[in-house]
Structure 1
C-alpha cells in the first residue's frame, strides 16, 4: 500500500536476518530506509528477495561518532539479549554501553521513530535478565516513549490460521512503543499503564492450538536427500518405539513418564553385587526389589538427584521387560551413543514413536504430540515428522516462519537455511503485534502525520500477512 506517491511509512530493519520483519512491514506498505545484517549468507537471501543489501555492522553505523542510519518511522529489531552493567539506580543509556541495545538506543535518540517494535527470546523476561528488562523499559520511557512494562509473548502456534498462524511453538517477547509528541507529555491517559500487545503465552482469540494439522503445512515436492533419516537414526527410533509399545500395556492407561528416561541410570543397579549383564547372550534376567535401589550422591544438584530417583523407581517397576528389550536392541553397545540412550516422552497418549514429532537432541530423543512442531533451532535439531519418517525440508521451515512459497534461497545450503530459519522472526507474530499496537495507541499516533499514515496502512491491511505475501516475487531470484 502507498499513500499518494509516498510509501505508507519508512522502516529500519536491524539484525535483519533474511527479512522476517521486512516481509511484514513491506506487506503493510512500508519502504525499507535502512537494514543491517552481519551474516553474509543471510544478507544474500535478504538482498535477492527484497532488493536491499543489508550486509554490515550496526555498531559501525550507529555510535557516538557515526549515525549512518537513515530517518524512518518504524524501527524493528530482533536484537540479541546481552547483559548490561549495573550502575546502581542510574539505569541510563550508559548502562547499556557495549551491548547491541545501546546501538539501538543511539538510533532512537537520533531519529525518534514513531513506532518501535523489538523482538527477543522469552528468557528476556526471566529472572536471569530481569535487570535488562527493567533497563530497556526505563530507557525507552526516558526517550519519550509510551511502552508497557508487562511483556507481550506471542507464538505462531497460538495464532489462528486466519491470522497467519502456523503449527510451530516459537514463544517470543515483543516490546512495542509509540513516541509521545511533546505537547502530549502531560496527557492524563499517559498516567495509565498500557496493555501489552499479546497474551502471556495464551492462545489468541480463543484459538485451540490442538486443532493444528502439521501435514497441511508439509510439501513433499520440496523434500531433498538430506531430509532422509540415516539407517542409525531409524534403528534408534525403532528401538525406542518398541520400548513405548512394550510399556504401554503396563501403564494402566497412564502416560509414559514425563521425566527424561535415562538408561544410564539403570546401570546403577547391582545384582548380587555385580553390574547387570547387558549382553544379548545373557541367559537370565535378574529380579530386583526395593532393597536393591541404588544410592544417590547427595552432593549432586537437586534436579539430577530427582531424575535419578525417578529413573531408578521406574526401572525397579519394569526391569523384567526393560532388561530383555535393552539386550535385544543392543542399547548398551556402541550402536547406541549415550545421547541415544535417553528418551524424553512429551507425546501424551500417542501409541507409537513414529506417530510423534521428534528431535534428536544431545539430551536424548524428544517426542511430542503431532499437534504442532517445537521451535525451529539454529543447530542440527531439525524436527522429524514421524508419520513421514523424515525431517522437515528447508522450505517447510520457511513456511512455518510465515514466508511465502516463492521466497528464494538460491545459492544456500540446507544447513544454512535451517540456521536462518532458526534465527528468524515469525512474520505473522510481527503482523499481529503491530496491528494490536496500532489499535492500542491509535489515539496517540494520530497526532503526527507519520502516525496517521501508519494507522491507515496497518488497520486497512488484511488480518493475515498470507493474503499479501502470496504475491511476493524475489527481486533477484538467483
Structure 2
C-alpha cells in the first residue's frame, strides 16, 4: 500500500466534504492546487491554462469543463468572478529560475505577475495563495519581488511568504519553493497569521516506491577529515552530512568525493592515467588557470604538475573519451557538465535516501538503485556500489508514477499517456501536501464551517505505509 493524499487525510475530516468556499485556479497546469482544495471543500469556479496537453490532463481528472470554464491566457482575462473566496496559482517560473534565462520582468512570462496583481486588486478575493521558485526572492531578483509584495499590500492585503521544502511535508523530495499568500485586511486577525510545517516522521524513497527494498540502513559516523580531508565542501546539500556516507552517487569528472563516480572508475585505466585525471580535476578550478569555475589546462600546465608527462599519454585519454581537446588546443574532461552526468546518468539514489533531487519539467538524469548498499568503510563504499549496483544494472529511471507519488498526487489521478509529457507535467506541478496544509489554515480565516471542523488541530495527513 502506497502513501497518497486521499487515504491519509486527517481522521476528523470527512471525505468528501461539502463545498464551502470558492476558488479560481490560475496557471492551473494539471491541477496541483485543485486537488487538495477540492478535498478541503473548495468549489472551482474557473481555471486558466493554455497548454493543450495540461488542459487535457486537467479535464480528464475533473471531467467537468462546463462547470469550471477555462479562462485561457491570464494576460487576456479582464476580471475574475466577484465575491470570490480564494485565488491560487503557480505563476510561471522560467523568468526567475536558474534553469531559465533569469530575465525577470523583461521576460513575457515574468510580466504575468503584473496580471496576477491586477486581477487580485480588481476582484478582491478574501485570500490568495501563489507558488514560484525561490529564485524570485534571491538578491538578483529582490527588487522585482519587493515590487510584487508592495503592490499586493497596497491592494488591501496582509501578505506573507515563506520558502517551503516538500520533504518537510512528508514527501521524499528535496524541493524548495516560494509560497506567497495574503489575507484581505477586513478579515479578523488577518495580521496574525502564523505558519509552521507539520510534524511528520522522516521518510525515505522506499516508503513511497513499492519496488524498492524496504531495508533501513544504519549509518555510521565518520570523521569529516576521513571523508573529505582538510576541506569539507561548503556547498553541501541538506541531505549530505559531513560525518556520514552520502546516500546517492554523483556521476561526473569535474567534482570529487567519496560518492563521486568518475569515468576512469568505470573503465580499465592504469594508475598513471588515474593520476593524470586526478591532477586535472584538482587544478582546473584554480584561478591561476582562468577565471571560470572550471578551466581547461594546456600541455605545459600539466607537464609542470606531472613528472615526465608525454603528449601521447594525453592523446590516449582523448581516445578513451575521458579528455577532450578544446578549440584553443587545451585539455578538459569530455564529461565537463555535472547535469549531463556520465553515460546518461547524473545521480543514482539508494533506496534508503531521505529525498531525491528536485523533480523538474525539463527532466533529470537521476536514477534509483533497486538494491541496498550496506554501510562500509569510505574507501570501499564507492567500489562496492560500482560492483554490486552500477555494473549489474541494479538501478532504474524514474517513471511518471514515481513523479506523481513524489509530488503527493493520489493513486487514482489520471496520468497523461505519454511518459515524457507526464513527467514534464508533474515536474511543473506544485507539491500537494504543502497546498493542503497552507490552504487549510488560510480558509479558516473566512470560513466558519472550516474553522469548526478544525477547532481541534488535525493530525498531520501524512503517515508511513506501503
TM-score by length of 1: 0.60
Q: Secondary structure at 2:33's aligned position in 1?
A: helix
1:178 and 2:172 matched: no
- Deviation track 1:371-398 (CA, whole Å, cap 9, x = no partner) reads 2111111113153102351112101110
* Counterpart residue number, 1:245: none
The answer to whether the Cα contact below 8 Å between 1:343 and 1:366 also exists between their aligned partners in 2 is no
Asked if the contact 1:74/1:116 (under 8 Å) is kept, the reply is yes
Residue 452 in structure 1 maps to residue 448 in structure 2: yes
**Aligned partners of 1:154 and 1:174 also within 8 Å:** yes
CA distance in 1, matches of 2:109, 2:427: 28
Alpha-carbon distance change, 97 to 386 in structure 1, aligned in 2, over 3 angstroms = closer
Q: Distance in 1 between matches of 2:285 and 2:176?
A: 39
- Which consecutive unaligned segments of at least 5 residues does structure 1 have? 85-95, 160-164, 199-203, 222-250, 267-278, 345-357, 468-478
Which residue number corresponds to residue 422 of structure 2? 417
SS of match in other structure, 1:178: strand
What number of residue pairs does the alignment pair up? 354
Change (3 A) 1:417 1:99: same
- The 10-residue stretch of structure 1 (295-304 or 118-127) with the greater mean CA deviation from structure 2: 295-304
Paired residues for 1:146-225 under 5 Å: 146-148=158-160, 151-159=161-169, 165-181=170-186, 194=192, 197-198=195-196, 204=197, 211-220=202-211
- CA apart distance, 1:112: 1.2
1:59 corresponds to which residue?
74
Matched, 1:48 2:60: yes
| Residue number in structure 1 paired with 2:227 | 254
> Aligned partners of 1:417, 1:300: CA distance in 2, in Å?
42
Say whether residues 1:390 and 2:396 are aligned partners. yes
Q: SS where residue 109 of structure 1 aligns?
A: helix
Question: Is the 1:59–1:100 contact (alpha carbons within 8 Å) kept by the matching residues of 2?
Answer: yes
The 5 Å alignment of 1:125-164 reads 125-148=137-160, 151-159=161-169
**Counterpart of 2:22 in 1: which secondary structure?**
strand
Within 5 Å, give how 1:30-429 maps onto structure 2: 30-53=42-65, 55-59=70-74, 61-63=76-78, 67=79, 69=81, 71-81=83-93, 99-148=111-160, 151-159=161-169, 165-181=170-186, 194=192, 197-198=195-196, 204=197, 211-220=202-211, 253-255=226-228, 263=253, 298=288, 300-301=290-291, 303-304=293-294, 330-332=320-322, 341=335, 360=341, 365-366=346-347, 370-381=353-364, 383-387=366-370, 388-409=394-415, 412-429=417-434
What TM-score does the superposition give when structure 2 sets the normalisation length?
A: 0.61
The question of whether the paired residues in 2 share the 8 Å contact of 1:382 and 1:418 is answered with: no
Residues in 1 aligned to 2:359 and 2:427: alpha-carbon distance in whole angstroms:
5
Q: Deviations over 1:247-278 (max 9, x none)?
A: xxxx9831498589864799xxxxxxxxxxxx
1-structure distance, mates of 2:74, 2:283: 57
Q: CA deviation at 1:341?
A: 2.7
Structure 1 residues 71, 47: closer, same or farther in 2, change over 3 A? farther
**Mapped contact 1:24–1:431 kept (Cα < 8 A):** yes
Is the contact made by 1:339 and 1:364 (CA closer than 8 Å) also made in structure 2?
A: no
Alignment-derived partner of residue 262 in structure 2: none
- The answer to which structure has the higher helix fraction is 1
What is the SS of the residue equivalent to 2:293? helix
Contact kept, 8 Å, 1:18 with 1:43, in 2: the verdict is yes
Residue ranges of structure 2 left out of the alignment (5+ in a row): 1-12, 97-107, 213-223, 236-249, 257-266, 325-331, 371-393
